[in-house]
Amino acid sequence: MQQALAQKPPAPLAKTLNYLFYATLSICSLAGLFVLKNPGYLSVWEVFSLLGLGVVGLWRWSWFLYRVIRSRFFLHVTFPRWRKRADAIPVEELPHMCFLVPSYKEQLWITERVFKAIAYEAKTLTQPITVLANTSSDDENAAIRSILEAEDPGLRTIRLILMTQKDGKRKAMADALRHLAQQGLPEDTVVALMDGDSELAPGTLRKCLPFFRLFPKMGALTTDEIPVVQGSYIFSEWFHLRFAQRHIQMCSDSLSRKVMCLTGRFSLFRAEVALDPSFADQLEHDSLHDWLWGRFKFLSGDDKSTWYWLLNRGYDMLYAPDSIVYSIETISGSVVVRAYNNMRRWYGNMLRNNGRAIALGPRKTGWFAWYSLIDQRINFWTCLITPGFLLVSLLQSNWTTAGIILAWIGFSRPLMLSLVFWGRESMIKPIHFPLLLVSQWVSSLIKIWTQMNLAQQSWKNRGNQSINASGEGFSKFAKCSTSYIFLAIQTFCFVIFIAWLAGIVSPLWDIAGLKLTHQSVSNQLTVQHLTAIDYDIWPNDGKDDSVLLTELIHQQAVKDHLEIELPIGELDLTEPIFINRGNITLT
């Protein structure tokens, strides 16, 4: 059994060469930064733009490194203490174990691996386990029974319950939980919610169950994952990258005892949680009221529903980094389409739960988890700043600036990958560099679209299910139009920000310039030209001209610039001329 589960260990030489490749790339890129950073090569705007980009980079890298430090502290300090205490608990004192496995039209070889692993784990415990399989058909149920009986004749260590799914995975899981609640399970039972394509590594239960004795406030526990992908090398390596990133995040989050996800692949729950009627109700009927789309039900994302239920009730949720579940994927058809559909589903589930989790406030979630939730709303914009700035620099033919950005990418991403894969069973490879860039940038675009289209859901590998809450007729037109308008506004603001970084526009200076221009235009005076003779002011006529000239000046509009042309000759001014205005010229 262990041979079937074991993964081929990475060759030491290949692993060393891969790290050497990334070290060389990082060092060469750092040298390029030193060469190109000379201000003599850059204009004032280019220096300003790179400083702005550097501030954003400093903020994002500070957050990333803080997470890495937290994860390493958890892995090497906190968790070893937990593991030592957990291993001291005798196997006889471990709680009763129950599996709930919804399986939907899985290939037979996958079902064999999954349930053989469960049977193997049952033999490591001193009391029989309960297995409830809720599948797509009677034939699938029969196959599961046959597999378990072959591994455990007479089912001495397994109490098997078989059900058939109706109306989707959420209802299947909820119905199964309600059925388990009626089976008289021991109060200390631990219920595993796991997918039908998740294979337990040997010793998983022995490693995980003691934590439910150690931590009374812990409502759920999840584990590390290693992908087993058939059909696409690129898809496989992408999953290795994703799970390595997930490992860092989970270790960091577990230090605060609030992980950000209880994966549907395999997570363990206390019976008081899993068998609570409201837990099953939320799992089946979970919905969201959105300001634009109204109220709509969740299609996928059952793991997010269970996570929110525990978060809302203040339970601790922890991560066991030394316990592994193998996530089996079979790929057929277009890899790009499959990856896109997966990201639409993953990030949609994340964003649909993000707002209501933030609304719980930091007192309930904890400050670190709360800020992490807020960061989920920010990072899909910040991830696009670097490629956006690079694109603008290339379009402007600012080759030096573009070279600095490329050098920064070549320096920073290998460093990030080295930290992410440090200590992982999965091996770092050169292909992870482009996969990281594409994954970061494409996922950001998908999140931006999804956050304004939360009600549009699909689940391609679960019978091609879909939900669209846009409605019909004018309602659909109004909702979709509003969504597109807000997307356009957000995109416009982001483009302006990138243009400002690139020195194309300066909103503050431009607004100030428009104001000054408006004031300048407003302050331009109309010139009024008068001829004194036209108003009976004649020279050399022996008459007093002071009164007529004073009246002429006072009768004109003050806002105009007044020019009075005096006649050639001698004017008689016997009285003073009083001028109580500006903008006047006598010629």
- What backbone torsions phi and psi does residue 435 show, to the nearest 5 degrees? -65, -35
CA angle 387, 392, 393 (to 5 degrees): 95
**Which is it for strands 198-200 and 218-230: parallel, antiparallel or unpaired?**
unpaired
**Average pLDDT, stretch 231-245?**
95
pLDDT above 70: residue 202? yes
Indicate the range of 106-110, 172-176, 198-202, 287-291 predicted with least confidence.
Answer: 287-291
pTM of the model: 0.84
Per-residue pLDDT tens for 113-155? 999 999 999 999 999 999 999 998 999 999 999 999 999 999 9
- At residue 156, what is the residue type? R
Backbone φ and ψ of 51, nearest 5°: -65, -45
Taking alpha carbons only, the member of 105, 247, 86 closest to residue 164 is: 105
State the Cα–Cα distance between residues 247 and 253, nearest whole angstrom: 10
Residue 579 pLDDT greater than 80, yes or no: no
Asked if residues 425 and 444 have their Cβ atoms less than 8 Å apart, the reply is no
Residue 11 has pLDDT above 70, yes or no: no
Residue length of the chain: 587
Q: How far is CA 393 from CA 50, 399, 507, 584, in A?
A: 11, 7, 19, 54
Question: In angstroms, rounded to a whole number, what is the distance separating the alpha carbons of residues 502 and 467?
Answer: 41
DSSP character for 92?
A: G
Question: Residue 505 in contact with residue 392, Cβ under 8 Å?
Answer: no
To 10 degrees, the CA torsion angle through 540, 546, 551, 553?
Answer: 90
Q: What is the DSSP code (8-state) at residue 184?
A: T
How do residues 517-564 score in pLDDT, each as one tens digit? 555 555 555 777 777 777 777 777 777 777 777 777 777 766 667 777
CB proximity list for 428: less than 8 A, separation 6 or greater: 15, 18, 19, 22, 417, 418, 421
Pairing of strands 287-290, 294-297: antiparallel
φ/ψ (deg, to 5) at 211: -65, -25
Q: Determine contact, residues 262/219, Cβ cutoff 8 Å.
A: no
Per-residue pLDDT at 38 exceeds 90:
no
Q: Which amino acid is at 378?
A: I
Phi/psi of residue 26, each to 5°? -70, -40
Q: Please identify which residue in the block is written with the tokens 């597109």.
A: 484
Kindly state the helix (H) or strand (E) to which residue 220 belongs, with its residue range.
Answer: strand 218-230
* Both structure tokens of 175: 């119905």
Instruction: Work out the number of other CB atoms within 10 angstroms of the CB of residue 582.
Output: 9
Quote the tokens at residue 570. Answer: 């001698």
100 within 8 A of 176, measured Cβ to Cβ:
yes
Q: Bridge partners of 287? A: 297
The predicted pLDDT at position 538 comes to 74
Which residues sit opposite 130 in a β-bridge? 98, 159
Domain 1-85+96-332+339-469, architecture per CATH: Alpha-Beta Complex (3.90)
Would you kindly state where each structural domain of the chain is located, as residue ranges?
1-85+96-332+339-469, 527-586
* Residues 373, 260: Cα–Cα separation, whole Å: 8
DSSP string for 437-453: HHHHHHHHHHHHHHTT-
Kindly provide the residue ranges of all beta strands, DSSP E only, lying in 265-340, ordered along the sequence: 266-270, 287-290, 294-297, 316-330
With CA atoms as reference, report the closest residue to 196 among 331, 307, 100, 130. Answer: 100
Q: What is the mean pLDDT of the chain?
A: 88
